[in-house]
Amino acid sequence: MLDHPEHRPGSEDDVLGRRMAATVVDTVVVFVVYYAGLLALAGVLSRGFGPPLQVFNYLFWFVLNVFGLTPVVTLHGQSWLWFLAAVAVWGGYAALFESLRGQTIGKAIFGIVVVRTDGSRVGPVQAVIRNLCRVVDGLLYYFVGLMLLSLSADRQRLGDRLGDTLVVGVRDRI
């Protein structure tokens, strides 16, 4: 099992910029995984590489889905399927990594870790709860989450509040 990084107590105030940068890195990671999955799906469905325009259409929806904007853009048809797929990939990625080590790839790069408010390790339940809330926190390019962070003394977005978690700095960065 992966070692859980040791956090610096009281360091949730100085991680806002690193949280934002980690989100960008994690979005790129999830985008690559989602894109690879779409290419594989297109290949299976078309018994070949798949229609490139259809793949780009799915990628367009992915970008909207990552930030929770699909319901704002349209309320019909397949967009809900792609919205749910993006939520599952993004939430699954973050919940898995945070359950195992307390960090996604982006968080590890920028020296931050998710812990429970009592300082203990995050479990699978807390990781799933905090990442399901990305649907709300991610609205309008994470504007909702950023506003909640700025209004919280402990720098918690909705997912952190409901999951009883904090994002804090670690002692040793990679």
User: What is the residue-averaged pLDDT of the chain?
Assistant: 78
From CA 164, how far away is CA 161, in angstroms rounded?
Answer: 5
The phi, psi pair for 88, rounded to 5°, reads -65, -45
More confident position, 28 or 10: 28
**Residue range 54-82: mean pLDDT, rounded:** 58
| pLDDT value of residue 111 | 92
Gyration radius of the chain's alpha carbons: 17
Which burial class, exposed, middle or buried, applies to 105 when counting CB atoms under 10 A from its CB (0-12, 13-18, 19+)? middle
What confidence tens digit (pLDDT) does each residue in 134-160 have? 888 877 777 888 899 888 888 899 999
**Residue range 37-42: mean pLDDT, rounded:** 66
- Alpha carbon 87 to its chain centroid, in Å, reads 9
- 90 and 131 in contact (C-beta within 8 Å)? yes
Judged by DSSP in three states, 168 sits in strand
From CA 87, how far away is CA 65, in angstroms rounded?
Answer: 7
